[in-house]
Structure 1
């Protein structure tokens, strides 16, 4: 049985997406795939029990039958944190190994997802390198490449790992097109000279950072005025409608698949957004638009949602929501799989894990 722990330099680097995409690809190649997120840090209520949101989603999307208590045996509750700070022994190592034994039974490969950054869980002696050592698996490090400072993060991660023999290699993720040349010609050779295997360079893809209109409605606690049949439409960006109406349409058309945030009393901006065929109208201040606006939006199949908060608060919430988008839609899964197949050395990873089929 083979395994690999997917870790990262920081939160929201793409660990869940990579585990999901690799899981789909390996299943399609005939391997029996298991998945674990040993330490759950994104806790939600599922039928009265706590579970990790990412782990719950991946379990469903990969069609796994394992119990959530084995997929995520350790949950980062306040009580657990307090006990760790007070030095209370909780038997976490035994719990981890017992769950891993259950998950790995009958599997060819188990993909493990790390917790937050690479050092997450250190106070419980369960940082990603410690988990990898205890379960005798290697680490695949995924790093968001936002600038050359990503190289510093990678080198610092190596110092945290200490035993570099457990590092299988890295994947550079979300590389913008204008940085691709620098990454391929300078960064990859630099890392490989340091003995770090680069398994892939994945370009930035705005669709993966998109959120559905339904997710926006839920997160903003909004009221849907029209467009209830288009809740699964994806929004990739947001724009603020606070300009003169004369320049609004050109502004809205420059950014596709966007939601427009504007005051409920700005009917001129609302009509301009509808004419520009935006994905969604978010109206702030709990001010209802005119019937003419709602009729035009409904005819154009553009959802209009109403929020109680002011524009600035709504902008801040949208910034957080889009920056932390989850993988839930089938179209996103297909895109992830395609990106991995095109930009990651999957055969090299299979060899590294010791799989053969």
Structure 2
């Protein structure tokens, strides 16, 4: 049975997306695929049971039958942290090994997802390198290349790993278009001279960073005033309407597929956003717009949603939603598979796992 642990240098690196994409690719090649995230750190309640949000999404998208409590056997609760800090002994290693044994049964491949950053879980001896060592698997490190300082993060991660044999290689993810040439011509050779195998360089992709309006409504706890039948549309950016109406239309049209956030009392900005055919209009302050605004939005098929919070709070929440969206739609899963197949040496990853693609 083959396995690999997908780790990351930081949160929101695209690690879960790559786990899901690899799982689908191996499954499409005829392999029986299992998945687990040993330590759940994004805890949510599903039908009265605690589980990890990433793990739940991957279980759904890959149509996995394994019980949630086996996929994520350990939950990063305050109680677990307190026990670790006070020296209370837990049976975490036993839970890890029992869950891995159960997940592995009848599988050709098991993909293991790490916890947040590479060192997460170190206080209870379950950092990603420690889990990889205990399970006898290698690590695939995913790094979001947001700046040249990503190289520093990678080199620091190597010091955390210590045993270089555990690291199979890395994927540089979400590389901005204007940095692609520098990364491929300078960064990749630099890393490979350091003995770090670079499996691929994945460009930043708008589809993966986008979020459906329905998730914005849920994330902002908003009320839908108009356009309830258009909530499956995707938003790639958000804009703040705080300028003069005359400047707003040019501003809104420069950045397509955007949601506009503005006060509920700014009818001029609201009409400018509708005229610019934005994807969604988000009104803050729990102030209802005029009937004319709602009628215009309805005619233009633009959803209008109302939130109770002020504009600054809404911006902060949108910052968490845009770019940190979880893959819950088939179109996104198909896209990550395309990106992996086009930009990553999948055969070499499979070879590390003693598989063929």
**TM superposition score normalised by structure 2:** 0.98
Task: Indicate the residue corresponding to 1:163 in structure 2.
Answer: 163
CA contact (8 A) 2:347 2:356 kept: no
Q: Is the 8 A contact 2:172 2:200 kept in 1?
A: yes
The C-alpha deviation readout for 1:118-175, integer Å capped at 9, x for no partner, is: 0000011000000000000000000011111111110110110000001000000010
State the partner residue of 1:223: 223
What residue number does 2:174 align with? 174
**Cα-to-partner distance string for 1:244-293 (whole Å, 9 max, x where unaligned):** 11111111011111000111111111111111110000011111111111
Measured in 2, the distance between the counterparts of 1:118 and 1:334 equals 27
Partners of 2:216 and 2:67 lie apart in 1 by 30
The equivalent of 2:283 in structure 1 is 283
Equivalent residues, number: 357
**How far 1:324 sits from its partner (Å)?**
2.1
Partner of 1:61: 61
- The alignment partner of 1:34 has SS state of strand
Unpaired segments ≥5 residues, structure 2 = none
Give, in whole Å, the separation in 2 of the partners of 1:110 and 1:196.
23
Q: Are 2:42 and 1:46 aligned?
A: no
1:88 CA displacement: 1.0
Q: Does 2:357 match 1:326?
A: no
Residue matched to 2:85: 85
Shift of 1:335: 1.0
Shift of 1:356: 3.2
User: What is residue 245 of structure 2 aligned with on the other side?
Assistant: 245
Give the superposition deviation at 1:46. 0.7
Residue 101 (str. 1) matches residue 101 (str. 2): yes
SS of 2:281's equivalent in the other structure is strand
What secondary structure does 1:119 align onto?
A: coil
Q: List gaps (5 residues or longer) in structure 1.
A: none
Matched residue, 2:154:
154
Deviation at 1:36, TM superposition (A): 0.5
Match of residue 187 from structure 1: 187
User: Quick check: 2:206–2:236 contact (8 Å CA) kept in 1?
Assistant: yes
Describe the SS at the equivalent of 2:208: helix
Instruction: Report the Cα distance in structure 1 between the residues aligned to 2:63 and 2:71, rounded to whole angstroms.
Output: 13
Counterpart secondary structure, 1:65? coil
Q: CA deviation at 1:219?
A: 1.4
SS in 2 for 1:126: coil
2 CA distance for matches of 1:67 and 1:313?
Answer: 37
User: How far apart are 1:206 and its partner, in Å?
Assistant: 2.1
| Contact 2:144–2:175 (Cα < 8 Å) also in 1 | yes
Q: Return the alpha-carbon distance in structure 2 between the equivalents of residues 85 and 337 of structure 1.
A: 41
TM-score (structure 1 length as normaliser): 0.98
Work out the CA distance in 1 between the residues paired with 2:73 and 2:39.
7
Q: Distance in 2 between matches of 1:345 and 1:107?
A: 23
Contact 2:284/2:307 (8 A) holds in 1: yes
The question of whether the paired residues in 1 share the 8 Å contact of 2:207 and 2:332 is answered with yes
Deviations 1:197-248 (A, max 9, x none): 1001000012211111111111111110000001111111100111111111
Secondary structure of 1:112's aligned partner: strand
DSSP-derived class of the 1:146 partner: coil
Counterpart secondary structure, 1:106: coil
| Whole-angstrom CA distance in 1 between matches of 2:10 and 2:175 | 15
Q: Which residue of 1 aligns with 2:270?
A: 270
State the match for 2:315 in structure 1: 315
Whole-angstrom CA distance in 2 between matches of 1:120 and 1:281: 38
Q: Whole-Å Cα distance in 2 between the matches of residues 286 and 146 of structure 1?
A: 36
1:350 is paired with a residue whose SS is helix
Equivalent position of 2:340 in the other structure: 340
